[in-house]
């Protein structure tokens, strides 16, 4: 089985001081392109003294020793796999899927197959292959493995370009339902803060003081349960960063119910939950997050389209338990 390769270039020389880190690494590691190095940094695979470094523009200093972990490549071309899909809309240019929780969007180390891409290749046929790249054909955006809801994929190069332009310009309408611990105050507002790799844990994202990418989430509380112990919140993305809603809500002290990465809360101050309700909340097996609304301008036809997805069964069942309190 392929393993991650650890590269340890020699320490920075005095005459190299002030060089951008991505450029310095590209010079020291000629087997890796500068673009590849930037991608590895974004994935949290470059470190200095066990601290993750994600800022490609960092200026190196004499004596610094960087470590680069290079994961094994995913298969060069994903294989079609006959996996059932919930198709919300489809035409000759694009397809909108209601993705179930537990499905990874595209192959990657650790998830080489049984992804949405594998399913799309089987569903759409050979025409999809290579659209936007052979490893992620048709994919213009992602939602996390354990987040459910709406996702659009392109079936033609023209559609891929048009959708990618809208995502880059943040002109799409995207809204999520989230069950969070506590009740945000105020009940409606904005959360803003650059998101980048957590310098202390490369598997996590965080609101960072320097570097990262600008992120803005608009939220409003739709309903509170159990005396404010848990709330249903609508979150609308003005940007689309990795784990954006999960990170932003956590920074406000209201992590998502079931989120295994950004912290689980076992109760809310001043509220005593019945044991069976507390157990249901704590043992919820995924982050309670659902992409329920997706709207955009059709990339080839020009008119606006808007799609909605109902509350998934698992989150709905949890809300029914909370309703009786």
Catalytic residue among 22, 55, 98, 144: 144
Give Cα separations from 109 to 4, 18, 112, 282 (angstroms): 10, 34, 6, 29
Buried b (16+ CB within 10 A) or exposed e, 258-287: bbebbebbeebeeeebeeebeebbeebebb
Going by C-alpha positions, the residue among 43, 47, 42, 25 that lies closest to residue 34 is 25
Sign, CA dihedral 83-81-107-238, equals negative
Peptide bond into 186 cis (omega under 30): yes
8 Å CB contact between 255 and 263: yes
8 Å CB contact between 239 and 212: no
Going by C-alpha positions, the residue among 71, 64, 54, 72 that lies closest to residue 10 is 64
304 is catalytic: no
What does DSSP say about strands 173-181 and 51-52: parallel, antiparallel, or unpaired? Answer: unpaired
Catalytic positions, written as ranges: 144
């Amino acid at each position: 089985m392929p393993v991650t390769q650890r590269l340890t270039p020699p320490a920075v020389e005095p005459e190299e001081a002030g060089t951008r880190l991505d450029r310095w690494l590209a010079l020291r590691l000629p087997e890796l392109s500068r673009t590849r190095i930037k991608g590895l940094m974004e994935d949290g695979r470059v470190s200095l003294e066990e601290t993750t470094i994600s800022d490609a523009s960092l200026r190196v200093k004499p004596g610094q020793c960087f470590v680069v972990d290079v994961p094994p490549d995913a298969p060069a071309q994903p294989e079609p796999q006959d996996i059932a899909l919930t198709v919300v809309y489809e035409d000759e240019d694009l397809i909108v899927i209601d993705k179930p929780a537990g499905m990874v969007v595209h192959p990657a180390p650790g998830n080489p197959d049984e992804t949405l891409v594998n399913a799309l290749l089987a569903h759409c046929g050979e025409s999809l292959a290579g659209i936007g790249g052979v490893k992620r054909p048709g994919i213009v955006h992602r939602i996390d493995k354990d987040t459910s809801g709406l996702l659009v994929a392109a079936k033609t190069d023209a559609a891929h370009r048009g959708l990618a332009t809208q995502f880059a310009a943040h002109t799409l309408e995207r809204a999520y339902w989230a069950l969070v611990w506590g009740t945000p105050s105020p009940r409606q507002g904005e959360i803003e803060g650059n998101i980048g790799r957590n310098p202390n844990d490369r598997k996590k994202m965080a609101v960072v003081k320097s570097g990262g990418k600008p992120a803005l989430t608009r939220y409003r509380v739709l309903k509170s349960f159990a005396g404010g112990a848990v709330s249903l919140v609508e979150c609308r993305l003005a940007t689309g960063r990795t784990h954006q809603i999960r990170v932003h809500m956590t920074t406000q002290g209201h992590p998502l119910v079931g989120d295994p990465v950004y912290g689980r809360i076992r109760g809310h101050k001043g509220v005593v939950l019945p044991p069976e309700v507390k157990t249901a909340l704590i043992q919820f097996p995924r982050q309670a997050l659902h992409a329920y609304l997706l709207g955009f301008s059709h990339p080839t036809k020009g008119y606006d389209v808007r799609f909605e997805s109902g509350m998934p069964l698992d989150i709905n069942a949890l809300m029914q338990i909370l309703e009786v309190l």
